[in-house]
Amino acid sequence: MQRIVLLVFTAFLIAACEKYDDSALVKRIEALENSVEALEASYQNDIKAAQLSINELMALYTDHEGRINGNKEQIAALITALEAMVDKLLVLEEKIALLEGADSALKNELAAVKAEALNALEEAMRANERIDNMA
């Protein structure tokens, strides 16, 4: 009796061990990897656009010595634009953090641009204080 059960069980195992077709799973994984790569490329473009925007804003409002110049309204507009840029970078940082295994170079570049934006914002706020103190 035990031999019959063992033979039936062995036959069942052999029949159940057919080669598994995982091509659909492989395609899904590849599609997910491609999606992550596309997101990273999109985030990379967003970081570069932010960098360019910061550079252009600062070029508009700085003199040849790198000091921020302008009247109260101009500097207020600069502060508003830089605050919006920092907000966008913070949202982008959250999105990148959600990507498991995101490229560390992408994270480092974002951190550098965010630091630059925060420094520019700080500088603009100091310029705004100088104008207030002159009045």
Q: Does the residue 33 lie in any domain?
A: yes
Domain count across the chain: 1
Per-residue pLDDT tens digits for 10-29? 777 666 666 777 888 889 98
Q: Does the residue 12 lie in any domain?
A: no
Per-residue pLDDT tens digits for 94-127? 988 887 777 788 889 999 999 999 999 999 999 9
Q: Quote the crossing angle between the two packed helices 104-134 and 23-61, to the nearest 10°.
A: 20
Per-residue pLDDT tens digits for 86-102? 999 999 999 888 877 77
Tokens 């003199």, residue located? 63
DSSP string, 24-61: HHHHHHHHHHHHHHHHHHHHHHHHHHHHHHHHHHHHHH
Q: Quick one: which of 120, 127, 131, 5 has its CA closest to 54?
A: 120
- Alpha helix stretches (DSSP H) within 62-103: 72-98
Q: Does the residue 6 lie in any domain?
A: no
- Whichever domain contains 98, its CATH number is 1.20.58
Full-model pTM: 0.74
